[in-house]
A and B are shown apart, each in its own frame.
Chain A
Amino acid sequence: SSELTQDPAVSVALGQTVRITCQGDSLRGYYATWYQQKPGQAPVLVIFGNNNRPSGIPNRFSGSNSGNTASLTITGAQAEDEADYYCSSRDTIDNTVPFGGGTKLTVL
């Protein structure tokens, strides 16, 4: 199985742009998937594949992938974006599903 690494915490001023990164070998084979989790709630899918957003996810959320690194960018962060963000993918060898440790985003 593989591992994904995220910065534990990131902060951004209201209305500014923030990038959350994720690193791991599995990202060389599979695009990263990003989930948002607010306190007391189940995770919500925000980005999958080559920068795809599910219905209902604002277009200020975008994703990118390069080599073993993936990024989630929030352009014009809002107060409601304050949450934990998890990256995930899939291991090309054993098909397990790793999660990153999560990044706590604070909107100042």
Chain B
Amino acid sequence: QVHLQQWGAGLLKPSETLSLTCAGYGASFTGYYWSWIRQSPGKGLEWIGEINQSGDTKYNPSLKSRVTISMDTSKNQMSLKLTSVTAADTAIYYCASGWLQLDQSYYYYMDIWAKGSTVTVSS
């Protein structure tokens, strides 16, 4: 069964670095895009950024200065680092894998989601 599993520290102090890892199982994920999305308490979804299997990254402009996403294709693993966290970074963080279609019609979707990790930033 294809699924994603993620892990990382759930409680951070302000100014620390958030670090999460996501691993894919049950498929090759060839050609897939890997993304991080977060959801602050009671709020909507916010895309953090993505990486493809060529290692090309895209980031949300509002977070770009603090975010690094990396990939280990040999392990089907993606990592997220978010530096200098504050209480505003408290959220559920999801990793997801998806597909970018650019032939005849253009669409992008994320069809496999991990269960999410709760990250709390508090002094």
Render B13-47 as a binary contact track against A, CB cut-off 8 A, 1 for contact: 00000000000000000000001010000001111
Q: How far does the alpha carbon of A31 sit from the alpha carbon of B100 in the complex, in Å?
A: 11
Count B-side interface residues using an 8 Å CB cutoff.
Answer: 26
Q: How far does the alpha carbon of A42 sit from the alpha carbon of B108 in the complex, in Å?
A: 18
Instruction: Give chain B's interface secondary structure class.
Output: strand
Render A87-107 as a binary contact track against B, CB cut-off 8 A, 1 for contact: 011101011111111100000
- B45: chain A residues at CB < 8 Å are 35, 37, 43, 86, 88, 99, 102
Query: Across the interface, do A45 and B110 meet the contact criterion of CB distance under 8 Å?
Result: yes
Task: Given A43-B94, A49-B101, A96-B58, check contact A29 B106 (CB 8 Å).
Answer: yes
Task: Given A98-B47, A99-B44, check contact A30 B106 (CB 8 Å).
Answer: yes
The minimal Cβ–Cβ distance linking A64 to chain B, given in whole angstroms, is 13
- B114: chain A residues at CB < 8 Å are 42
**Which partner residue on chain A sits nearest B45 by CB separation?**
A99
Query: Across the interface, do A42 and B115 meet the contact criterion of CB distance under 8 Å?
Result: yes
Is there a chain A Cβ closer than 8 Å to B7's Cβ?
A: no
- B47: chain A residues at CB < 8 Å are 88, 96-99
Task: Given A1-B60, A102-B45, check contact A90 B115 (CB 8 Å).
Answer: no
Q: Which of B35, B94, B105, B107 has the most CB of A within 10 A?
A: B107
Q: How far does the alpha carbon of A50 sit from the alpha carbon of B111 in the complex, in Å?
A: 16
Render B44-81 as a binary contact track against A, CB cut-off 8 A, 1 for contact: 11110010000000111100000000000000000000
- A1: chain B residues at CB < 8 Å are 60-61
The minimal Cβ–Cβ distance linking A86 to chain B, given in whole angstroms, is 5
In the A-B complex, the 8 residue pairs with the closest CB atoms: A48-B109, A31-B107, A42-B113, A49-B107, A102-B44, A97-B47, A90-B108, A99-B45
- Which B residues have a C-beta under 8 Å from some C-beta of A? 35, 37, 44-47, 50, 58-61, 94, 96, 100-101, 105-111, 113-116
